[in-house]
C-alpha cells in the first residue's frame, strides 16, 4: 500500500488555525461566545472578537473567573470558548474546570495556547508541558491536540459542533509546518494513519507528528518501513489503532512536546500493557521544565526532533523480538 508523502505548504501557527475555526463556528452558530483573559490576539481569538464584539467577553487576568463564567454561560444555553495560555487555562484553573465544568458535564471549550517548548523565549513559566496529563484524567473531558494549523481549524470546529461535554484543545504559538489537507476531515477519537509500515510504529501528537513523518522518510531510505499515527485526540484514545500497530509492527515509539509522564507516552503504555505489550521508546520532556531560547534551539536541546525519533526508533527495533 502506497503512503502519502506529506509536504509543508508553509509554516503557520496552530493558534491561527484555532482562531479561524472559532470564527467559522461563530458564524455558523450564534450560541458561540468567546471569553478572553487579556491576551486575545496572542491566542488567536482576535478574529472572533473583531467580528462579534457583542459575543466576546474579556475578564482580564482572572482565569478562574473565566471558567466560572463559561460554566454559567453553558448552563444558560450558550457554547462558551475560553482560551488563554495552556499553563493558565489548564493548570491555574484546575479546580474550577473539575468542579464547575467537568462535574456538571458542561459543553465548555477550553483553548490551551503556548503548548510545549516551541513557545520559545517566554520560558518555563509559559510553556505548557503538563496540561495533557491534567486534562486527560478529568472525567467527561475530551482532549484534542492537532498537528498543524489546518487540523487545528478542523479540531476547533469539531470541538464546538460535535461535542456535548467539556473539551480541552491544545495548540502552539510558533509557526510550524502546515501539511494536512482540510479534505482529510477530522473525526474525534480516531487516530490518523499518515504513513504505512510494519517494521515499527511511531505514534505522535501535535507538532511532533511532522517530526515523526520526517523520521519515517529517513528510515525508509534504509529499508525500514515505519507506520506513523497522528493522535490528534488524546481522549477518547483510539485504542484499536494503537493495539493494531503494536500487533503488526512489534515495537513502538511515542513522540510528544509534553512531559512523557502522564502524557501521550503514558496513555499509549496504558493501552499496550493491557492488550499487547511490545518494546516502546518515549520521545518527550523527561521530568524537567523548559527554558528560554528560540523554538528550534529548544526543540533540539530537549530532544524533540526527527533525529531523536530516529534514535529512539533504532532502540525500539533493537529490543524487538
Q: How far is CA 129 from CA 26, 51, 159, 272, 289, in A?
A: 29, 32, 22, 23, 8
Q: Give CATH 3.40.50.920 domain extents, the chain.
A: 192-319
CB-based burial of residue 1 (10 Å sphere; 0-12 exposed, 13-18 middle, 19+ buried)? Answer: exposed
Q: Whose CA is closest to 115, among 304, 248, 253?
A: 304
CATH fold group of domain 192-319: Rossmann fold (3.40.50)
Query: Taking the model in full, what pTM does it have?
Result: 0.96
CB-neighbour burial class of residue 190 (10 A; exposed 0-12, middle 13-18, buried 19+): middle
Q: What pLDDT sits at residue 4?
A: 78
Task: Let me know: does 36 contact 58? Beta carbons within 8 Å.
Answer: yes
The predicted pLDDT at position 2 comes to: 55
Spatial separation of the C-alpha atoms in residues 51 and 217, rounded to whole Å: 42
Count other Cβ atoms within 10 Å, centred on residue 38: 13
In terms of Cα–Cα distance, which of 291, 42, 306 is closest to 195?
306
Q: In the chain, which segments carry CATH 3.40.50.970?
A: 11-177
Say if residue 164 is exposed, middle or buried (CB neighbours under 10 Å; 0-12, 13-18, 19+).
exposed
How remote is the C-alpha of 79 from its chain's centroid? 21
What are the strands, taking DSSP E only, across the chain? 11-13, 32-36, 56-58, 79-85, 109-113, 142-144, 167-170, 175-177, 192-195, 200-204, 226-230, 233-235, 252-259, 280-285
All three cell numbers of 167: 473539551
**What pLDDT tens digit does each residue of the chain (321 aa) get?**
457 789 999 999 999 999 999 999 999 999 999 999 988 899 999 999 999 999 999 999 999 999 999 999 999 999 999 999 999 999 999 999 999 999 999 999 999 999 999 998 999 999 999 999 999 999 999 999 999 999 999 999 999 999 999 999 999 999 999 999 999 999 999 999 999 999 999 999 999 999 999 999 999 999 999 999 999 999 999 999 999 999 999 999 999 999 999 999 999 999 999 999 999 999 999 999 999 999 999 999 999 999 999 999 999 999 997
**CATH homologous superfamily of 11-177:** Thiamin diphosphate (ThDP)-binding fold, Pyr/PP domains (3.40.50.970)
pLDDT value at position 47?
A: 96
Report the b/e string of 50-84 with b at 16+ CB within 10 A: eebeebbbebeeebbebbbbbbebbeeebbbbbbb
Amino acid at each position: 500500500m502506497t503512503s502519502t508523502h506529506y509536504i509543508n505548504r508553509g509554516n503557520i501557527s496552530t493558534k491561527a488555525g484555532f482562531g479561524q475555526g472559532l470564527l467559522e463556528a461563530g458564524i455558523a452558530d450564534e450560541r458561540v461566545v468567546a471569553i478572553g483573559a487579556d491576551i486575545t490576539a496572542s491566542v488567536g481569538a482576535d478574529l472572533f472578537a473583531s467580528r462579534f464584539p457583542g459575543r466576546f467577553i474579556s475578564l482580564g487576568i482572572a482565569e478562574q473567573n473565566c471558567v466560572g463564567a463559561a460554566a454559567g454561560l453553558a448552563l444558560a444555553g450558550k457554547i462558551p470558548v475560553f482560551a488563554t495560555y495552556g499553563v493558565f487555562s489548564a493548570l491555574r484553573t484546575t479546580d474550577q474546570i473539575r468542579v464547575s465544568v467537568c462535574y456538571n458535564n458542561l459543553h465548555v471549550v477550553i483553548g490551551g495556547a503556548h503548548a510545549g517548548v516551541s513557545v520559545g523565549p517566554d520560558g518555563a513559566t509559559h510553556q505548557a508541558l503538563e496540561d495533557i496529563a491534567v486534562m486527560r484524567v478529568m472525567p467527561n473531558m475530551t482532549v484534542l491536540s492537532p498537528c498543524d494549523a489546518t487540523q487545528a481549524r478542523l479540531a476547533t470546529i469539531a470541538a464546538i459542533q460535535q461535542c456535548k461535554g467539556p473539551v480541552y484543545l491544545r495548540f502552539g504559538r510558533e509557526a510550524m509546518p502546515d501539511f494536512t489537507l482540510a479534505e482529510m476531515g477530522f473525526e474525534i477519537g480516531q487516530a490518523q494513519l499518515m504513513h504505512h509500515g510494519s517494521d515499527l510504529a511511531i505514534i505522535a501528537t501535535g507538532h511532533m507528528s511532522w517530526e515523526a513523518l520526517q523520521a519515517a522518510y529517513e528510515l525508509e531510505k534504509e529499508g525500514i518501513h515505519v507506520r506513523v499515527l497522528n493522535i490528534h485526540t488524546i481522549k477518547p484514545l483510539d485504542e484499536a489503532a494503537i493495539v493494531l500497530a503494536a500487533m503488526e509492527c512489534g515495537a513502538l515509539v511515542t513522540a510528544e512536546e509534553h512531559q512523557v509522564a502522564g502524557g501521550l507516552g503514558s496513555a499509549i503504555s496504558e493501552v499496550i500493557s493491557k492488550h499487547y505489550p511490545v518494546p516502546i521508546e518515549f520521545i518527550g520532556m523527561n521530568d524537567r521544565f523548559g527554558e528560554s531560547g528560540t523554538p528550534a534551539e529548544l526543540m533540539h536541546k530537549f530532544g524533540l526532533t526527527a533525529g531523536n525519533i530516529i534514535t529512539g526508533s533504532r532502540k525500539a527495533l533493537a529490543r524487538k523480538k
